């Protein structure tokens, strides 16, 4: 159900700031809205409106989560909880008319301090987060369930941790979650168990993956980690991790403590071993600074890469490579690579090659933002490398947009772990939009296409109920991804905390 609510501007924060989850605009003056009162309408579309504010009351659009039958519904607007009092007859209107074409008008008052969570309801929500659903009960997810980029359902159900597309028979619905629901987000390039100087302890790795979960990233592709993170697989409360084993790099040609550092003739055997150790992926370091020339340079002769990729494929794994520069790309594509990480060095010719072969890229733009800092640190000893990194950074958006325009599959990855914090999946989607991808394409890169690419289901019958619920349509403004209303992992509500 999509609801538009006018909230007093004083009670709002975030939606009028950059990156706020729900765009807002004035619809009436403070007098009309009656100070602390709220007025609003109910509609099915409710896309964000970007017009600016001009007086004391703002109107926000989006499906707001409140439960009919509760004495004081709460809604979350721009990341803040508001208590509303809605007349009984209007509540029934919301239920009976939510699919109708004409908005139903209703009004409500702020029942508690705007923008704060009443202590009692906060406790209630915390209890709800940790309480496992009872056996034999169902959760209903309703509003707009985006089972595909352009495929909406009014509702789905969760029974025994799995998605049901039809109402369960004989199973009482004991919980309702309302809003815009998406399959759990994908971070297709992160590192769990990895810190600035190599493997970290289990407690740190757990904090990393919990941070991803809080951001709604419920399916992670680990792009190389020296840590043994198999314990994660036994934890129902943690996102699924698809591992690429440990990085394979040339000696002294990558970050210290990360990779197996090996020579080209060793690469095929190591690739096969990491394929067996991982979950369907192997990660090569395709290029790195060569200190003897002072610039980025490919790490592997084409033949060694081809033999390694063939060995990994024989084990049923796909292969991806870290590539910042231009010169490693054509060889790796010719060698049969499946994906390129970062891919900042793409040019017109290599864009054509990747597009032709269907090789995907994971741009990790939130990480490419660090290139100027890397360049500054290197400028004295390696001035050519420093200028190169600045150039790659300067054209990063053009590169990603040109790749998208050429039809190269693009997926969202943050490169969290190592130097970047976890939980940046929403920021990376926003970066893809900044690069010029249509918002739906940027969203797809973290949702439906990304899941299909990794061989995991979305919201289909019988799939694990991994989903994230938002207050507004993320296709209209991906900024809403930063403010999930609910995170459901294997049928359990796990957030927001
Ligand atoms: Zn990485």
| pLDDT tens, residue by residue, 413-423 | 999 998 899 99
Distance between CA 146 and CA 66 in Å, rounded? 19
d(CA 223, ligand 1 centre) in Å:
6
Both tokens of 485, joined, read 């209303």
d(CA 279, ligand 1 centre) in Å:
16
pTM of the model: 0.74
Which domains does the chain show, CATH number per domain?
3-120 (no CATH), 132-183+476-495 (2.30.40.10), 185-457 (3.20.20.140)
Q: What was the pLDDT predicted at 135?
A: 60
Q: Kindly list the distances between the CA atom of residue 294 and the CA atoms of 126, 288, 329, 393, in Å, as whole numbers in the listed order.
A: 54, 10, 19, 18
Q: Kindly list the distances between the CA atom of residue 217 and the CA atoms of 185, 234, 270, 409, 426, in Å, as whole numbers in the listed order.
A: 4, 18, 30, 19, 9
Burial-class residue 394 by CB neighbours within 10 Å (0-12, 13-18, 19+): exposed
d(CA 321, ligand 1 centre) in Å:
10
Whether residue 42 is predicted with pLDDT greater than 60 in this model: the reply is no
d(CA 318, ligand 1 centre) in Å:
16
d(CA 98, ligand 1 centre) in Å:
44
d(CA 341, ligand 1 centre) in Å:
8
d(CA 489, ligand 1 centre) in Å:
25
Q: What was the pLDDT predicted at 453?
A: 98
Q: Is residue 454 a contact partner of residue 221, using CB atoms and an 8 Å limit?
A: yes
Place of tokens 């815009």: 180
d(CA 199, ligand 1 centre) in Å:
14
Total Cβ atoms within 10 A of residue 150? 9
Burial-class residue 196 by CB neighbours within 10 Å (0-12, 13-18, 19+): exposed
d(CA 224, ligand 1 centre) in Å:
7
d(CA 467, ligand 1 centre) in Å:
25
| pLDDT tens, residue by residue, 211-255 | 999 999 999 999 999 999 999 999 999 999 999 999 999 999 998
Mean pLDDT value of segment 1-10 = 33
Q: What is the DSSP string of 223-279?
A: ---SS--GGGGG-TTS-EEEE--S-EE-TTSS-TTTSEE--GGGHHHHHHHHHHHTT
Q: Is residue 350 a contact partner of residue 330, using CB atoms and an 8 Å limit?
A: yes
Higher pLDDT, 283 or 98: 283
d(CA 414, ligand 1 centre) in Å:
8
d(CA 334, ligand 1 centre) in Å:
23
d(CA 342, ligand 1 centre) in Å:
8
Radius of gyration of the chain (CA): 24
d(CA 391, ligand 1 centre) in Å:
20
Q: Could you give phi then psi for residue 473, rounded to 5 degrees?
A: -70, 110
d(CA 427, ligand 1 centre) in Å:
16
Least confident among 73-82, 162-171, 209-218, 376-385: 73-82
**Nearest Cα residue to 7 out of 53, 57, 42:** 57
Question: How long, in residues, is the chain?
Answer: 497
**Nearest Cα residue to 487 out of 172, 231, 210, 149:** 210
């Amino acid at each position: 159900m999509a609801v538009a609510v006018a909230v007093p501007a004083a009670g709002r924060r975030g939606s009028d700031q950059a990156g706020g989850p729900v765009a807002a605009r004035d619809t009436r003056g403070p007098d009309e809205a009656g100070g602390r009162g709220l007025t609003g309408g109910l509609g099915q579309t409710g896309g964000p409106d970007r017009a600016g504010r001009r007086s004391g009351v703002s109107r926000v659009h989006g499906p707001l989560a409140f439960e009919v039958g509760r004495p004081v519904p709460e809604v979350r607007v721009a990341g803040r909880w508001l208590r509303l009092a809605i007349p009984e007859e209007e509540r029934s209107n919301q239920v009976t008319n939510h699919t109708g074409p004409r908005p139903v008008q209703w009004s409500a008052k702020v029942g508690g301090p705007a923008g704060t969570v009443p202590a009692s309801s906060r406790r209630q929500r915390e209890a709800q987060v940790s309480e496992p659903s009872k056996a034999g009960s169902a959760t209903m997810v309703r509003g707009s369930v985006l089972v595909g980029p352009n495929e909406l359902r009014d509702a789905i159900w969760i029974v025994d941790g799995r998605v049901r597309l039809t109402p369960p028979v004989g199973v009482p619905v004991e919980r309702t979650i309302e809003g815009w629901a998406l399959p759990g987000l994908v971070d297709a390039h992160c590192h769990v168990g990895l810190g600035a100087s190599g493997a970290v302890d289990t407690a740190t790795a757990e904090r990393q993956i919990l941070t991803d979960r809080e951001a709604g990233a419920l399916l992670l592709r680990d792009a190389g980690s020296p840590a043994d993170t198999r314990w994660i697989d036994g934890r129902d409360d943690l996102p699924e991790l698809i591992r690429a084993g440990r990085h394979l790099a040339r000696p002294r040609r990558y970050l210290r403590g990360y990779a197996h550092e090996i020579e080209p003739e060793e690469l095929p055997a190591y690739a096969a071993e990491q394929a067996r150790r991982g979950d369907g992926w192997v990660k090569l370091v395709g290029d790195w600074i060569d200190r003897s020339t002072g610039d980025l340079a490919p790490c592997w002769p084409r033949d060694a890469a081809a033999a390694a990729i063939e060995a990994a494929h024989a084990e049923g794994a796909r292969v991806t490579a870290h590539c910042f520069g231009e010169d490693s790309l054509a060889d790796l594509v010719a060698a049969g690579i499946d994906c390129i990480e970062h891919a900042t060095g793409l040019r017109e010719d290599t864009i054509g090659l990747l597009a032709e072969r269907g090789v995907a890229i994971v741009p990790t733009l939130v990480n490419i933002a660090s290139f100027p800092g890397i360049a500054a640190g290197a400028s004295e000893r390696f001035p050519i490398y420093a200028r190169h990194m600045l150039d790659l950074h300067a054209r990063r958006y053009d590169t990603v947009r040109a790749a998208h325009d050429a039809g190269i599959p693009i997926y969202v990855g943050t490169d969290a772990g190592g130097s970047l914090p976890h939980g940046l999946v929403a920021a990376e989607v926003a970066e893809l939009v900044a690069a010029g991808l249509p918002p739906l394409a940027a969203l797809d890169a973290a949702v439906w296409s990304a899941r299909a690419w990794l061989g995991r289901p979305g919201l289909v019958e019988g799939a694990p109920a991994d989903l994230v619920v938002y207050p507004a349509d993320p296709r209209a403004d991906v900024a809403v991804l930063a403010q999930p209303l609910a995170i459901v992992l294997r049928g359990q509500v796990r957030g927001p905390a």
